[in-house]
């Protein structure tokens, strides 16, 4: 007995002039995706079009959903196993053959892009002869597959290369997975027309059909040449070697296989006929989709990010509430940035510092950012004025009356922070949320400075505030659920991503990034050439090299943190274990007076403008030993493992309560390499899974010290065959 036919996800409507409108409308789903039902519907539509070809004058492809088409089914891709490669390849090729049948039917096919067309959505549109995009709010057009460790495997590489030329396709569309607003997409050559109303969109689609009764794609016209040439052309071939070299330089040797495969698929595909190019593209796609990096990136950048932003860590049962007026205390680097972020989100800001001048200077920072945005066409004079009008600089506590939230960012000093909260707690609204942006002081002890300790919470922004997408919310010992939920809502209100962590020295992010830095400096202590240490960090995929990062943070900071930590350990009757990095930091500061970039000299030399001017040659002289022999793989893994292992400890200690928060916080806050999917997904995806990771940690422990000892929680999970996940039962690896 035949299986019941799946309901069609493509509606067919034909008018009496012979125009067929195909409406993408997956029943029961909020968005259209490339699932099995779509594949079957597409095949059926291609059959019918061919069969009824004589009566069809043109085809319009549009969607009944808010988005045109959402793309591949990521749940499917997360679950696909390497042994299913053949099946995955065949499924992709079948879908592409069906799109190709419609593309080569000989009648005009127009995409009426009524909403976002990302990934698979744009690939369907690219198979059409003409693309009209509606400038709907939130509409984005692009092929973001690279950001998930994939490549556009639905003909997106083959067609953009033919449409735009190899160079533009790679740089504007494929390698970075950029997403464009409809008008920008038109400038880049991805769509032909942009309209403002759905009626106009359909009218333009019909007009194209009327004017082009027998459309073919440019690449199906005999003698078509790819714009800008192909490697077969000597001039282009001469430039080609620069491509892989530039790419390698950009990636710093980091393991981002998607970019390599995109480059290969584009270049190889440009030298063959269209059908072969599609097959090449599918082969490279399948390799990525069955590999670990894509799974890591899909888990982090799609599923974890969504879970975090949608409130996985927000306490339940607290009514959402918007902040209307915020007091920012301290108009220094952080306070000024926080004021800008709040005002940008439409919140009234009272920016307070010790003097009116200092507060004005903080406001001027926003004016500076807006001037730059204006120069780049990213804002308008009207919006600039409106934003600035929302910021009131002041030196008077009385001006904070009525503020329903406070964000403190004065100097890092407990007594001062207590003092400023004491000054304002009776002036602001009686139930105002009280937040501190401290980077190191435990929230529980800071809360002792206010009367309403349940309303006091850490709100740790990252610098520069306008660029950094993460905010770390820290619950102190007495912070209530209501305050946590309100802090969460405030972070979402300003469009950033909130993670929620428990109180600990350095909380989660600063504590874990400290392990990375210490590991890099420890390698210098062992006599490894500092250039190799930096190279190891780059090849591991870190966006900032480890010694240069230490210079940015200043070398006196780890000393201060270390001394405080030591006092706390000793006060509790414990013994303090020094880290191998300590001696190098001490010598750099005490013997050589090199405190980092702000001091004009650190691991690097700096020119008069504060720009890095090479590693300090003294490092080699004083620290490097020719017999130092740490294998390169060990260097990279020591950095990655030190952070991952400490994150497991954070989970064990309750500093972290969510795997998604850990993964997202590590990538967006402290530059843990994106290809890993984050600190805990790195462990899930490590070769051999948790048991493999645990065994490797023990090896590193034997070679380099007990800081690599696997924590109990890791050993336990490895033994039980579990992975790090927030949703038990779903495999994350």
What does residue 480 show for φ and ψ, rounded to 5 degrees? -90, 165
Q: At a CB cut-off of 8 Å and minimum separation 6, what does 358 contact?
A: 331, 395
Least distance to ligand NAI from the beta carbon of 417, Å?
Answer: 7
Which letter does DSSP use for residue 711 in this model? P
For residues 30-58, one letter each, b for 16 or more C-beta atoms within 10 angstroms of the residue's C-beta and e for the rest, the string is ebbbbbebbbbbbebbbeebeeeeeebeb
**Which residue lies nearer to ligand NAI by CB, 145 or 661?**
661
123 is catalytic: yes
Least distance to ligand NAI from the beta carbon of 595, Å?
Answer: 15
> What is the token pair recorded at 473?
């919310």
Return contacts of 595-602, CB within 8 angstroms, 24+ apart: 595/554, 595/555, 595/556, 596/550, 596/551, 596/552, 596/553, 596/554, 596/555, 596/556, 597/551, 597/552, 597/554, 598/554, 599/554, 602/547, 602/550, 602/551, 602/554, 602/555
Least distance to ligand NAI from the beta carbon of 424, Å?
Answer: 9
Least distance to ligand NAI from the beta carbon of 392, Å?
Answer: 14
Identify which of 294, 279, 240 has the alpha carbon closest to the alpha carbon of residue 263: 240
* Closest CB to ligand NAI: residue number: 332
Residues forming beta bridges with residue 474, ordered by sequence position: 458, 501
**Which residue lies nearer to ligand NAI by CB, 266 or 459?**
459
Cα 25 to Cα 32: distance, rounded to the nearest angstrom: 6
Peptide bond into 464 cis (omega under 30): yes
Kindly state the helix (H) or strand (E) to which residue 369 belongs, with its residue range: helix 356-375
Q: Tell me if 50 sits within 8 A of 103, measured CB to CB.
A: no
Least distance to ligand NAI from the beta carbon of 237, Å?
Answer: 47
Q: Tell me if 509 sits within 8 A of 664, measured CB to CB.
A: no
Kindly state the helix (H) or strand (E) to which residue 615 belongs, with its residue range: strand 612-615
**Which residue lies nearer to ligand NAI by CB, 5 or 354?**
354
**Which residue lies nearer to ligand NAI by CB, 99 or 336?**
336
**Which residue lies nearer to ligand NAI by CB, 329 or 645?**
329
Site residues (CB under 6 A) for ligand NAI? 329-335, 352-354, 358, 409-412, 416, 420, 437-439, 460-461, 463
Find the catalytic residue in 52, 87, 103, 145. 145
Identify which of 114, 116, 12 has the alpha carbon closest to the alpha carbon of residue 63: 114
**Which residue lies nearer to ligand NAI by CB, 527 or 671?**
671
Least distance to ligand NAI from the beta carbon of 699, Å?
Answer: 36
Cα 248 to Cα 259: distance, rounded to the nearest angstrom: 9
**Which residue lies nearer to ligand NAI by CB, 557 or 732?**
557
Q: Which residue in the block uniquely carries the two structure tokens 């942009």?
A: 194
Least distance to ligand NAI from the beta carbon of 332, Å?
Answer: 2
268 is catalytic: no
Find the catalytic residue in 52, 54, 123, 281. 123
Mark out the alpha helices in 612-688 (DSSP H runs): 618-622, 632-653, 659-670, 679-685
Active site residues: 123, 145
């Amino acid at each position: 007995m035949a299986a019941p036919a799946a309901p069609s996800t493509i509606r067919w409507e034909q008018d009496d002039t012979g125009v067929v409108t195909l409406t993408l409308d997956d029943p029961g789903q909020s968005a259209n995706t490339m699932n099995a039902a779509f594949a079957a519907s597409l095949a059926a539509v291609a059959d019918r079009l061919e069969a009824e070809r004589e009566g069809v004058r043109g085809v319009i492809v549009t969607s009944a959903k808010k988005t045109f088409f959402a793309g591949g089914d990521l749940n499917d891709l997360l679950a696909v196993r390497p042994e299913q490669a053949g099946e995955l390849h065949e499924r992709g090729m079948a879908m592409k053959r069906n799109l190709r049948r419609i593309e080569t039917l000989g009648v005009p096919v127009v995409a009426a892009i009524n909403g976002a067309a990302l990934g698979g959505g744009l690939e369907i549109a690219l198979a059409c002869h003409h693309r009209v995009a509606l400038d709907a709010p939130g509409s984005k057009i692009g092929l973001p597959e690279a950001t998930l460790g994939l490549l556009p495997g639905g003909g997106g590489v083959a067609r953009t290369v033919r449409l735009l030329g190899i160079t533009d396709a790679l740089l504007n569309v494929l390698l970075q997975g950029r997403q464009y607003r409809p008008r920008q997409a038109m400038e880049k050559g991805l769509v032909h027309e942009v309209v403002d109303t759905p009626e106009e969109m359909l009218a333009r689609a019909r007009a194209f059909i009327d004017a082009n009764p027998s459309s073919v794609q440019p690449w199906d016209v005999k003698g078509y040449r790819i714009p800008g040439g192909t490697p077969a052309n000597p001039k282009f071939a001469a430039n080609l070697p620069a491509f892989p070299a530039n790419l390698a330089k950009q990636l710093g040797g980091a393991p981002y296989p998607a970019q390599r495969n995109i480059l290969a698929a584009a270049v190889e595909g440009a030298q063959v006929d269209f059908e072969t190019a599609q097959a090449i593209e599918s082969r490279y796609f399948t390799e990525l989709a069955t590999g670990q990096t894509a799974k890591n990136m899909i888990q982090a950048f799609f599923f974890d990010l969504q879970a975090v932003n949608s409130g996985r860590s927000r306490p339940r049962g607290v009514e959402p509430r918007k902040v209307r007026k915020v007091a920012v205390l301290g108009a220094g680097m952080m306070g000024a940035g926080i004021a800008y972020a709040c005002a940008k989100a439409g919140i009234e800001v009272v920016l307070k510092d010790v003097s009116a001048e200092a507060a004005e200077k903080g406001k001027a920072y926003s004016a500076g950012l807006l001037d730059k945005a204006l120069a780049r066409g990213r804002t308008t004079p009207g919006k600039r004025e409106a934003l600035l009008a929302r910021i009131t600089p002041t030196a008077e506590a009385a001006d904070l009356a009525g503020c329903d939230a406070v964000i403190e960012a004065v100097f890092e000093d407990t007594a001062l922070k207590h003092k400023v909260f004491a000054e304002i707690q009776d002036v602001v609204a009686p139930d105002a949320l009280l937040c501190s942006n401290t980077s190191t002081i435990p929230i529980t002890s800071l809360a002792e400075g206010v009367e309403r300790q349940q309303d006091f919470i850490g709100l740790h922004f990252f610098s520069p505030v306008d660029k950094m997408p993460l905010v770390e919310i820290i619950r102190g010992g007495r912070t209530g659920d209501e305050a946590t939920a309100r802090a969460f809502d405030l972070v979402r209100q300003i469009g950033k991503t909130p993670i929620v962590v428990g109180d600990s020295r350095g909380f989660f992010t600063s504590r874990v990034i400290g392990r990375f830095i210490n590991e890099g400096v420890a390698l210098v202590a062992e006599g490894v050439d500092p250039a190799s240490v930096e190279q190891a960090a780059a090849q591991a995929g870190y966006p900032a090299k480890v010694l240069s990062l230490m210079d940015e943070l200043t070398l006196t900071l780890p000393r201060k943190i270390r001394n405080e930590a030591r006092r706390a350990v000793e006060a509790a009757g414990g013994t303090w274990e020094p880290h191998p990095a300590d001696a190098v930091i001490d010598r750099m500061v005490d013997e050589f007076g090199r405190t980092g970039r702000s001091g004009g000299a650190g691991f690097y030399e700096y020119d008069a403008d504060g720009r890095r001017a090479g590693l300090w040659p003294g490092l080699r002289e004083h620290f490097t030993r020719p017999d130092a022999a740490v294998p390169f793989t060990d260097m990279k893994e020591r950095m990655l493992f030190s952070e991952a292992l400490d994150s497991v400890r954070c989970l064990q200690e309750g500093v972290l309560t969510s795997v998604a928060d850990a993964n997202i916080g590590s990538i967006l806050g402290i530059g843990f390499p994106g290809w890993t999917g984050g600190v805990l997904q790195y462990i899930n995806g490590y070769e051999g899974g948790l048991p493999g990771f645990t065994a490797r940690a023990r090896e590193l422990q034997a070679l380099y010290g007990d800081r690599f000892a696997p924590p109990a929680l890791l050993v336990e999970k490895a033994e039980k065959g579990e992975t790090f996940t927030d949703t038990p039962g779903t495999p994350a690896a």
